[in-house]
Structures are given as C-alpha cells and as structure tokens.
C-alpha cells in the first residue's frame, strides 16, 4: 500500500521540532523559563514568569515530545488500519529499527569525534548563564566501543543519553511504535469495538508518568478518524485551546498560579493529555489543518527527524561557542541573540542536507534491501 502523507501532520511536526530547539536553547541561555525563580533571570523576570505561564507551552519540551509521540502513533496506526495486504505487517515492524537507527548512527559518530577532540563548549557558559542543565552533558570521554553500543543498542532499548540528552525518548518511541502497531492490528478483527482495548490500555498507563500513554491515545485518534466519528463544529477549536493550556503546565517548578489546581497528576500526564486534546481538535478543525499545511511547515516536518538528531550537538558546540566568543563585546542579550540566529540558520541548513543526502539515501537503500528479501 502506498503511504499518503497527511500535510497538517507534517506541518505540526515541523513547528514542534523548531520549538524543541527553542526550548533547549532557552534551557542554556534563559534557564528561568524552565526553573523559574530558582535560577538567574536574564530578561527582567519575564523568563521567570514564563516558567508557569500558558505561553510557556511554546518552550515546553516535554509537551512537544508528547505531541511528536502522539503524531507518530497516529500515522503508524493509520498505516496499519488501512493496510490491505495484512501479510506486510511484519515488514512494518522489521523496518522500524532500520528506519530510525542509521541516521542516528551518523550523528552519533560526529558526537564521538567531537568528544574525542574536545569540541563541545557547553561547560564554558555555565557560570555566565546560570544554567544547571548546560553543564550536565558531554563532559567525559566516550570510547569507540561505547559509541557503538549506544548507537546500536542502548539508545533504543535503555534510553541512553551519552550521544545526546534528547535521545532518552527514542526508546519510548521505539517501544511505543510496537504498541501502536499491535493495538491497531486488533481493529482488523474487531473494527467497531477496538476502542475498548485502546481505552483500557490508556487507563492502565494513566497516572504513571509513562510516555507510552501517548501511543495508546494516538492509536485511539487514528481509530476515531477511520470510524467516521466527528466532533461538533465549535468543539474542535475549544479542544485546541484546552490542549495548549494543558501543554503549558510547568515542568521545572511547582505551580503557584491557577495551574496549582492541576496537581493531581504529574506534568508528564498533563502534557500527554494536552497533546491528545490538541491533536483531537486539529483532527476535526479544517481551518487549523489548512494553517498547518502551509508549505514552510510541511517542509520543516519532512526534515524534523534530522533537526531532532542534530540540534543538541549543535547547541553544545556552535551555539555555546558563539556566545563565549562574543559576550565580551556584545553583552549577554546581544550575544545570545546572535547565537540563536546563527544556530537556527545552521540547524535548518544542516538538517536539510542531512535529510536529503543521508536520511533519504539510507531510506532508499533500506527499501531496496527489504524488497529483495521479500521476493525470496
């Protein structure tokens, strides 16, 4: 079956990937947006207030990751639900690892080389920025064997962070993908009642601070779409707004504003629920889909995996390096602004090149290899 891309999904992934970069940039240079008053403010307390403001949703990395997982489950589940040749399910499972691992391997090799030659500069900005997060990574050495173990096994099965602090969630993405495939296949036998299983699995994972919950709910969203269920016209925009509000629930500090009434669950659970409600609203709101389907957003969505792989090594080398080299002449805010602009441009350019010449090349090679295996 030929997979047809859903434009608004690509658009939402594109926006989310850039906002995750912004989240991690803020963690280094404006850590009060995450930790609130417990760290140095560099924006006259504006950054401190963002730590528990609904506007913080645009810097809330955990919520954005929940959105990514929700969309991944949604697309993968649709692929299985719409599969005409059921015998191809095994190929979908087998290809998952080989689709995700090789591009990461290439970035991981660059990280290993940077560690070997001491090219990461993040430790040098900790004193100036006051970020407790910036100095936690890329401080030790990594043998080539350790690199191989991390890239081939530990990232995928144990959430290893030695190659990038962002890679912790790839094990959840890996396991969650298999959960979505399994749940979706159940609908082949029980197309009208599969939702009972999806809700039951979500209930078991609920209130456990478990990102796998996003995959169960993402499969439920795909089933809702395929079942022809629709929301009342005005409900969808309200759902999008509610999802964004829940996505702004603070991650780094205890809430003291209206979010304090949400303390019955962990921030991870609130963010997953927020991602579910957000995507549910977009799923039945044509206006939001048209906005997210704009060419720029779709293009960013196509390179989003490369952006995700590259952005942490780039932040901890180029971004922090520019800041160190220019702070003395441009001042804190000027240097941070220059670092952000150059880093964002470099990230998009590198991600496009990596996607076009590495990620897509590896995908074509994989397709040829699996085609030959399937013919034998």
* pLDDT tens digit at each of 376 positions of the chain: 345 689 999 999 999 999 999 999 999 999 999 999 999 999 988 999 999 999 999 989 999 999 999 999 999 999 999 998 888 888 888 888 999 999 999 999 999 999 999 999 999 999 999 999 999 999 888 999 999 999 999 999 999 999 999 999 999 999 999 999 999 999 999 999 999 999 999 999 998 889 999 999 999 999 999 998 888 878 999 999 999 999 999 999 999 999 999 988 999 999 999 999 999 999 999 999 999 999 999 999 999 999 999 999 999 999 999 999 999 999 999 999 999 999 999 999 999 999 999 999 999 998 888 877 766 5
In this structure, is residue 2 part of a structural domain? no
240: CB partners within 8 A, 6+ apart: 277, 278, 281, 282, 285, 288
Per the structure, the complete domain to which residue 205 belongs is given by 7-375
**Measuring CA to CA, which residue among 164, 221, 161 is closest to residue 194?**
221
In a domain, 1, yes or no: no
pLDDT value, residue 376? 58
Spatial separation of the C-alpha atoms in residues 103 and 97, rounded to whole Å: 11
- SS3 string, 82-143, reads CCCCHHHHHHHHHHHHHHHHHHHHHHHHHHHHHHHCCCCCHHHHHHHHCCCCCCCCCCCCCC
User: Residue 161 domain-assigned?
Assistant: yes
Q: How far is CA 101 from CA 12, 147, 306, 359, in A?
A: 23, 13, 12, 10
- Cα–Cα dist 351/31, whole Å: 25
190 domain-assigned = yes
Residue 64 covered by a domain: yes
**225 in a structural domain:** yes
Residue pair 63/57 in contact by the 8 Å Cβ criterion:
yes
The per-residue pLDDT for 95 is 87
Q: What is the pLDDT of residue 253?
A: 93
Q: Is residue 198 in some structural domain?
A: yes
Query: What local confidence, expressed as pLDDT, does residue 4 receive?
Result: 65
- The domain tally of the chain equals 1
CA trace torsion 172, 177, 178, 183 (10° rounding): 120
pLDDT of residue 2: 40
Residue 284 falls inside a structural domain: yes
């Amino acid at each position: 079956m030929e997979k047809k891309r859903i434009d608004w999904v690509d658009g939402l992934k594109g926006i989310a990937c850039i906002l995750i970069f912004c989240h991690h940039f803020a963690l280094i240079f404006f850590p009060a947006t995450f930790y609130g008053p417990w760290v140095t403010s560099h924006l006259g307390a504006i950054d401190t207030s963002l730590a528990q403001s609904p506007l913080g949703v645009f810097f809330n990395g955990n919520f954005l990751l929940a959105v990514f997982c929700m969309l991944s489950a949604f697309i993968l589940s649709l692929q299985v639900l719409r599969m005409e040749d059921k015998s191809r399910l095994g190929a979908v499972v087998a290809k998952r690892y080989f689709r995700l691992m090789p591009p990461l391997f290439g970035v991981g090799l660059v990280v290993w080389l940077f560690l070997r030659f001491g090219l990461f500069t993040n430790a040098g900005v900790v004193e100036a920025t006051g970020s407790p997060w910036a100095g936690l990574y890329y401080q030790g050495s990594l043998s080539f064997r350790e690199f191989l173990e991390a890239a081939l096994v530990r990232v995928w099965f144990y959430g290893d962070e030695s190659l990038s602090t962002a890679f912790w969630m790839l094990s959840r993405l890996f396991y969650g993908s298999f959960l979505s495939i399994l749940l979706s296949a159940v609908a082949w036998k029980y197309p009208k009642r599969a939702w009972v299983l999806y809700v039951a699995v979500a209930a078991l994972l609920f209130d456990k601070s478990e990102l796998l919950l996003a995959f169960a709910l993402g499969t439920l969203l795909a089933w809702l779409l395929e079942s022809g269920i629709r929301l009342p016209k005005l409900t969808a925009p309200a759902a999008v707004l509610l999802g964004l509000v829940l996505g702004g629930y603070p991650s780094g500090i205890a809430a003291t504003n209206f979010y304090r009434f949400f303390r019955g669950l962990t921030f991870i659970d609130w963010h997953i629920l927020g991602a579910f409600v957000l995507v549910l609203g977009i799923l039945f709101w044509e206006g939001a889909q048209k906005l997210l389907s704009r060419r720029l957003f779709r293009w960013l969505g196509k390179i989003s995996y490369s952006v995700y792989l590259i952005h942490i090594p780039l932040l901890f080398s180029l971004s922090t390096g520019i800041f160190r080299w220019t702070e003395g002449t441009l001042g804190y805010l000027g240097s941070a602004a220059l670092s952000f602009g150059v880093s964002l441009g470099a990230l998009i350019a590198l991600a496009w090149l990596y996607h076009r010449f590495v990620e897509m090349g590896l995908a074509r090679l994989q397709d040829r290899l699996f085609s030959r295996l399937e013919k034998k």
